[in-house]
A and B are shown apart, each in its own frame.
Chain A
Amino acid sequence: MNRIRDIGLWLRRRAQNIAVAWLTLMFATFIIQIFSRYVLNHPVGWSEEVVITAWLWTVLWGAAFIIGESEEIRFDIIYSNISERVRRVFTVITGVVLLFFYVVSLPASYRYVSFMKVERSAYLQIPINWLYSVFIIFLVACICRYTWLVYRAFHGAPAPMTDPAKTGD
């Protein structure tokens, strides 16, 4: 069991490396864009495409692998004022509903993303289905995560809670 946990932690750190890499890429590309536009007077067209891709991937990759349950933004006026037991029941109910709809929409989402191979990005000529593939990663990761949360709630682990100090607003 410890070995599985170690592997999980290792994977989590690698996922964090990737998120940091995306945000760093976004930041660095912006600096290059500003430098080439205002200092060299020679604007580059590809930069906007890179930063917008980095933004898309940062959000959905982060939502899939990085963000912890305590950092999610919840409407917790009821949720934070109930007993731990009821909260676990809520976790099971919402988890099952989410699983149902995400699983049902997965084939259609996949069809949409793979259909986008007919389009290429304007400057770098990258097929859009590659750029958009992060949505499928996101859906599959959410399905796994919520299966795990529902499973844990069934076995008596504490329900996820938001820590207000950890959410940015």
Chain B
Amino acid sequence: MHVTPFGLAIMMIVFLGSLGLPIGHSMIVSSIFYLLLSGLDLGTAAEQILDGLFNSYVLLAIPLFILAADLMNVGTLTDKLLRFCLMLVGRFRGGLGHVNVVANMIFAGMSGSAIADAVGIGRIIIGMMTKDGRYPVAYAGAITASAAIIGPIIPPSIPMVVYALISDTSIGYLFLGGFVPGIMLGIGFMAMNSYLARKRNYPVEPPIPLREIPRITVEAFPALMLPVILLFGIYGGVMTPTEGAAAAAFYALLASTFIYRAVSWRQLYDAILTSGKATTSIGMLIAGAMAFNYVVTIENIPNSLAHFVSGFSLSAAGFLLLVNAILLVLGCLLEGTTILLVIVPIFIPTAKALGIDLVHFGVVVVVNIMIGLLTPPYGLLLFVLANMTKQPLTAIVREAAPFIVMSIIVLAIITFIPDSILWLPRIWGYKG
């Protein structure tokens, strides 16, 4: 049997990756391996990584979003926001479950990272939910994990920034496209929570006295303004998304220093260092993908696939269904950013050839990858929550199942009705 250098390089990635080498390094090593086998200049890996990182201005939104979230988390902001959500939805049956979902929809406006949302808000709200055994711990963990996937779908969203890079679509339109599915997921999860709460008789929170409402709103107001500033900056046609991210981070700094008066120099330093680490984690995946995507490109894989698929005379809907199925399976095995950077570019020429709108495609792919964070066996969120609540993984999975079903229904709707996503970007002038 004849094995090509490309085949060997793929095997090398799988081999190193499954033996526990960090994914970024696995991709860089495999690219060098490929260059060596093909007799190409070994400096090409360095060239691809350096030129790639140096010319991807749009990616700068990533460290800035992370920084904005970390700066906001330093303050007492999370508590203030949760009080606000409690005021809004606490009085309904299963109130804290609703608070969990709504808090994630609002927080989505700042962190853009599902894991950060689950850890940040999750820690506090799970504490509230499980105090005096009000909710089963596994249910608290499961709804926290599920609600966290809404964060990166409602803008701002780091995965959408990455998709914008690989597909050359507008971040602004992708962000707008994320609103509808994000809100659909929120409503779907709350409906499911309502149903389960009634069936299992989960508690209602004592209503917050009327005279407290103005104070709680005022306290939460500066935090609620962050998404407004960001979105106004971008969609008012004033700033680029990257500059919007910088403005949001700057506002976060001002808000937590002057309004919440919660930041010392030491905390500021630590927040920047934490952001630096998160930036590096994602940046290394991007660097590895830049090296490896060069290999994929010179092997002409994406076009071969487009050619191959066209042989089946697949419809656009059929192709999307196929991509969804592939990504859901891969999402059980691989981490989201890796899928976006390595697998999704392979599909893009085919999607284009079939006349699928690339903003629609991007939103579907991102929603799909977020669901992948929830699906066993390798849903990262499940691990994080099992770890945080000290519950067995299977208990979390069982409780999360209804929410996973709900999110797949939303995925199906947005897959087959492109207009459900695209109407909003079109209002802002998208010509798709």
Instruction: Write the nearest CB–CB distance from B359 to chain A, whole angstroms.
Output: 22
Is B300 at the interface (CB under 8 A from chain A)?
no
- A contacts with B, residue count (CB < 8 A): 65
* Bound complex: CA A60 to CA B378 (Å): 28
A71 and B18 form a contact (CB under 8 A): no
* B204 proximity list for chain A (CB < 8 A): none
Instruction: Flag if A105 contacts B46 (CB, 8 Å).
Output: yes
In the bound complex, do residue A73 and residue B29 qualify as a contact, i.e. CB atoms below 8 Å apart? no
Contact among B49, B269, B384 for A164, CB-based, below 8 A: B384
- Given A26-B63, A77-B18, A102-B29, check contact A33 B283 (CB 8 Å): no
Contact B25 A20 (CB under 8 A): no
Assess the A34–B41 pair: CB atoms within 8 A: no
A59 touches B46 (CB 8 A): no
Q: Does residue B213 face the partner (Cβ distance < 8 Å to A)?
A: no
| Beta-carbon nearest neighbor of B114 in chain A | A169
Among residues of A, the one whose C-beta sits closest to the C-beta of B119 is A165
Residues of A within 8 A of B391 (CB): none
Contact A23 B25 (CB under 8 A): no
| B47 touching A169, Cβ below 8 Å | no
- A contact patch SS: helix
Query: How far apart are the CA atoms of A20 and B264 in the complex, in Å?
Result: 16
Chain B residues numbered 229-248 whose CB sits less than 8 Å from any CB in chain A: 238-239, 242-243, 246-247
Q: Which residue of A lies closest to B275 (CB)?
A: A23
Q: Which residues of A contact B206 (CB under 8 A)?
A: none
Please tell me if B418 contacts chain A, counting CB pairs below 8 Å. no
Q: Which of B20, B33, B246, B283 contacts A94 (CB 8 A)?
A: B20
| Structural contact, B276 and A66, CB atoms closer than 8 A | yes
- Shortest CB-to-CB span from A80 to chain B, Å, is 8
The distance from the CB of A122 to the nearest CB of chain B, in whole angstroms, is 12
Flag if B279 contacts A167 (CB, 8 Å): no
How many chain B residues touch A (Cβ–Cβ < 8 Å)? 79
Contact B243 A30 (CB under 8 A): yes
Q: Which of B51-59, B92-100, B189-197 contacts A (4 or more CB under 8 A)?
A: B51-59
Distance in Å: Cβ of B66 to nearest Cβ of chain A: 6
A44 within 8 A of B: no
* Least CB distance, A145 to chain B, in whole angstroms: 10
Pairs of residues from A and B, 8 with the lowest C-beta to C-beta distance, nearest first: A62-B280, A59-B283, A112-B43, A168-B278, A30-B246, A79-B20, A108-B42, A108-B43
Known: A33-B246, A51-B60, A60-B53. 20 other contacts (CB 8 A): A20-B276, A27-B272, A34-B246, A53-B54, A55-B53, A55-B60, A59-B286, A63-B283, A67-B277, A73-B337, A75-B18, A102-B32, A105-B35, A105-B43, A109-B42, A112-B47, A135-B46, A165-B115, A167-B278, A169-B113
Instruction: List, sorted by A's number, 24 A–B pairs whose CB atoms are closer than 8 Å.
Output: A22-B276, A23-B279, A31-B246, A33-B243, A55-B60, A56-B53, A59-B286, A62-B283, A66-B280, A67-B281, A72-B281, A72-B284, A73-B337, A75-B18, A75-B335, A78-B20, A79-B18, A91-B20, A95-B21, A101-B32, A108-B43, A108-B46, A111-B43, A132-B50
